[in-house]
Structure 1
Amino acid sequence: MLFALIARLRPTPLLRAPREVLFCWAGALLVAGDAVFWLMFAAVQSDSGLAAMDVPVHSLIVDSRNPAATALLAAVTTVTSPEMLGVIGAAFALAWAVWKRELWRPAVLMGAILLAVVLTTLIKQFVSRSRPPASDFLLGPDDALSFPSGHTVGIGVFTVVLAYLVLSRSGTRTTAVLGFSAAFAVTALVGLSRLYLGYHWLTDIVASFGVALAVAAVAVFTDAARHGSSKNRAKT
């Protein structure tokens, strides 16, 4: 659905799209994110659906480990930890504010990251799901709860919201497709790293995509409400 909306846009900056169109983007992201999250939540609670694949997928990945993949994915997960991502996001937002001499977009980005942290923490406490066996952890002990993955939610929100904020001012249809595709690919890589290193179940990662999309929807809606052009102005 997201790519269909992107494809309909003219090769002009996305911000020139009517506010109503940007609101539709936000609505599509929110519906998609909610659907993914609640499907995974229901699967975990009933131990059915995709949750039936959690143990087999975990075992398959553990049995397929090799030194090269371990080194790569350990580096990926270290750089994208919630703590590290918070520091990177703050530094990036500060540099952006100074360089571009604006506060709005850096504030939207940091607000989205903060919302992601709060939501992830609340959901973890509510669901209270245990991680896979500690004997399979590759980077030491971790007694935090498992559902959803903070790494995956954080990087998903950071990359998707960043892509939107940059492309909504200067992007074209082609750069939009490339930018959002890159954001989803990076998020998928981080999710894979959490599975590979033994800290999450498959449904944790899929649910994290849903949370990230929902938070991104809030950021898009907030930015569009302030800067999106009205339908009448867009026609003139």
Structure 2
Amino acid sequence: MTETTERPGRLRRFHEKFLVEERVVPASAKRNLYLISIALVVGGLTAFLFIFDSVLEADDISAVDAPVERWLETGQTDWLTTVMTVIAFVFGPIVMPIIILVTTVTWGIVAKHAWRPLLLAGGMLLGVIIVQVLAPVIARERPPIGDMMLEIDHTSSFPSGHVMGVADFLFITTYLVFSRHRRPVITVLAFVVASGIVLLTAACRIYLGYHWATDALASIALSLVVLGIVIAVDTWRTVRVGTPSEVDASESTREEDGSVG
């Protein structure tokens, strides 16, 4: 009986020390987090379906694909091609998984807490599954092989796994780090920087001749869906409504132990 009692006790202590990351917020803040998550899921899914329908019907927003590709081709230079090649390598299927692995493991070790690294890994895995399921089913052809500036790629084009991988990583990481920050302007600026890098990655894939503009846009829309799910799960799992004094005490504690960032 004693061993049975001690085992749940040890599991509970482990759970509270490494997996629970409670944060106390006003009721309005918790409600806003859920509203944001719903808006991201609904907005992202609506945008994706609109783009998908445009691609199928070859109308509406898909009309930008050829002009965008031609515009980027006219701006091709040796130095820009080198920059885009480096970006493609850093955010490609070889280096990007290493970055994700190092980030999650290092984060868990330094923070001595597993919740946010696990949530990041889970969000990334969800994004991979979505792309792996949708791309073969939709089976959209990539731009002509002659436009591809690196190796030839015969896989499906829609949505872009590269763009979605980068968007998932940057958006989820930005949320998990800066959503704990007391100054909303810092969070907004962080998302602006993350969005800029995502758009640069999208431009890179189009510039190098591997994707259409709508491939990238659809991937970003799906990433917003994934981000919305992550926010909802994080809010459900970690957020507790408290009194103003409890909120202040929780924020002070997180600042002291360095968990705000």
Does the pair score TM above 0.5?
yes
Q: Is residue 117 of structure 1 aligned with residue 132 of structure 2?
A: no
Amino acid of the structure 1 residue aligned with 2:197: V
Give the drift of 1:234. 5.1
Aligned to 2:3: none
Q: 1:27 to 1:219 in 2, by over 3 A?
A: same
Q: 1:96 to 1:15 in 2, by over 3 A?
A: farther
Residues 181 and 187, structure 2, Cα contact 8 Å, conserved in 1:
no
Match of 1:207 among 215, 218, 226: 218
Aligned to 2:191: 180
Q: 1:172 to 1:157 in 2, by over 3 A?
A: same
Deviation digits for residues 141-186 of structure 1 (CA, Å, limit 9, x no counterpart): 1111100111110111111110111112234111111111111111
Amino acid of the structure 1 residue aligned with 2:196: A
Relative to the length of structure 2, the TM-score reads 0.81
Give the drift of 1:81. 1.4
Give the drift of 1:28. 1.3
Aligned to 1:169: 180
Q: Is residue 134 of structure 1 aligned with residue 121 of structure 2?
A: no
Partner secondary structure for residue 229 of structure 1: strand
Q: Is residue 16 of structure 1 aligned with residue 30 of structure 2?
A: no
Larger radius of gyration between Structure 1 and Structure 2: 2
Distance in structure 2 (CA, Å) of the matches to 1:81 and 1:220: 26
Give the drift of 1:110. 0.5
Q: Is residue 30 of structure 1 aligned with residue 36 of structure 2?
A: no
Residues 15 and 169, structure 1, Cα contact 8 Å, conserved in 2:
no
Partner secondary structure for residue 88 of structure 2: helix
Distance in structure 1 (CA, Å) of the matches to 2:33 and 2:112: 25
Partner secondary structure for residue 179 of structure 2: helix
Name stretches of at least 5 consecutive residues in structure 1 with no aligned partner. 1-13
Name stretches of at least 5 consecutive residues in structure 2 with no aligned partner. 1-22, 246-261
- What's the Cα RMSD here? 1.5
Distance in structure 1 (CA, Å) of the matches to 2:122 and 2:30: 21
Q: Percent identity?
A: 29
Relative to the length of structure 1, the TM-score reads 0.89
Amino acid of the structure 1 residue aligned with 2:174: A
Equivalent pairs counted in the alignment come to 221
Partner secondary structure for residue 20 of structure 1: helix
Give the drift of 1:83. 3.8
Aligned to 1:89: 100
